Structure 1
Amino acid sequence: MRSTVKVNSKRILFFVSLGIACIIALFPVYWMIVTSLQTTEQVFEFPPSFIPRLNFENFISVIFDTDLPLWLRNSLVVSLSSTALALLVGTPAAFALSRFRYRGRAFFSLLILTTQMIPTLVLIIPLFQIFVQLGIRDSLLGLIFGNFAFMLPVVVWMMKAMLDGVPQEIEQAARIDGASWFQIMIHITGPLVLPGLAATTIYAFLDAWDEYMLARTIITSPQNWVASIGISSFVGQYLTPLNLVMAAAVLFSLPPILLFLLMQRQFVAGLSAGAVKG
């Protein structure tokens, strides 16, 4: 009897703790949505209202009265391009680190890992000077290359962890049958690490989508702003329209959410794929 009561108490405590954690995690998102549906007067009223009101004037305003659609398009171009480029370069590099044995392999692995230990702010000024010399400062192309440089080491290490969990016996059998390493990577190993590739894709996309410091440094023309810079431009010297900021933030959050929903199963499977080897 006591053991049953003890088990039930632990279960109740677990679900209560889980509920509190969910409320803490989701309340900022809920409050963002509530604020985006309020007028300026309602934002500052006290006590605040926690019930959302169906008022979409803020969304109409940020879509038609600002350049938010242009900023979101620029963010999509930069995020998708830099992610595709990082996956195109990082996946073969991870395959080489995982499968081949050659002199200097450990050094290259350590060198790639070391780049992640350098603070981003330290690298922004050198990148800025490089982009000026190349003539790609204040351009989406420069921002694509910058995000690509920052996310490439992460992509390499994430994909290497996924590839290390794939048995090499399958690849050795394919080699005996005459398949090249490129064919093995594309047709044999590739399908086996699709969950890991999905997880890496989501991480790389979010990394580029949320990036601010590099974009703020190298982009000056408003027509080349990405959404993270555009939303920050709503902040005024004396007044910040919080309802418009939250409406823009809701629209800014939709692409990552949609991407995660589309790749949710692969993402969850990819998170656990690299944890088990063999």
Structure 2
Amino acid sequence: MNEQAARHMIVEVGRRLYERGYIAAADGNISVRLEGRRQLLATPTGVCKGFLKPEMLVIVDEEGRKLQGDLNPSSELAMHVTIYRLRPDVNAVVHAHPPVGTGFAASGIPLTKPLVSEVVLTLGCIPLAEYGTPTTEELAQAITPYVPHYDALLLANHGALTYGADLEDAYFKMETLEHFARIALVAHLLGQERPLPPEAVSKLFQIRQRAGRTSPTPSLCQVPTPSGRATEGPANANDRITLTRRQLVDLIAESIEATLAALIDENRSST
């Protein structure tokens, strides 16, 4: 994409993000890799992205150093630079704070359950990157393990990040992320979550592979192994299982929730 077209497209995407409520005030940032120039075009810091003008955007080099523009580039540009460095196929990055997706991020809950086939096909799943202090290198470090394998991330206690072949692609991935977060929330509130079975997930990932899309980490996206077993459980009952603190808390919470639901059902049936 040439510079002039990229400037107008960033302005348009900023307007969409603001109108949909994915950002507020000076939240969020957007960037595009300029074709054949080893440079990035990025949104400035301290400005509402819903009211951008093409001339407000800033050109930086591949390390994020300002080359051209009256304003300063986003203070979170290190995330963008990291993504472009690790993913040569990516030409645009969008960072926003969509309310429901960010609610999951603030609750420490990744969007990794395969509840909707279209989301598995387009994004695989959406893991949660550890918290990193905004405007620091911590954010870039937090997303680094995930960037090669995923096209959308939740940022713990912060927001969401999507990227793609062009800006339209990156933006629509943000729409998909928030749309799926709403569906996941409704399914949880209804108490009847029914994730796709491992065989169905495996078929969807085979389609992704044929389409040349990223290959998510199996253990995060509940992808079965070639033997047909889901990668979340050990092959032997005597194998040692290692859990993070968050996984242990989630496991205990799910157990308590299931026990309470069973007690409520039992009480209803007895009355």
Q: What TM-score, normalized to structure 1?
A: 0.22
State the structure with bigger RCO (CA 8 A, min sep 6), 1 or 2.
1
Structure that is richer in helix per residue: 1
Q: What TM-score, normalized to structure 2?
A: 0.23
Which is greater in Rg?
1
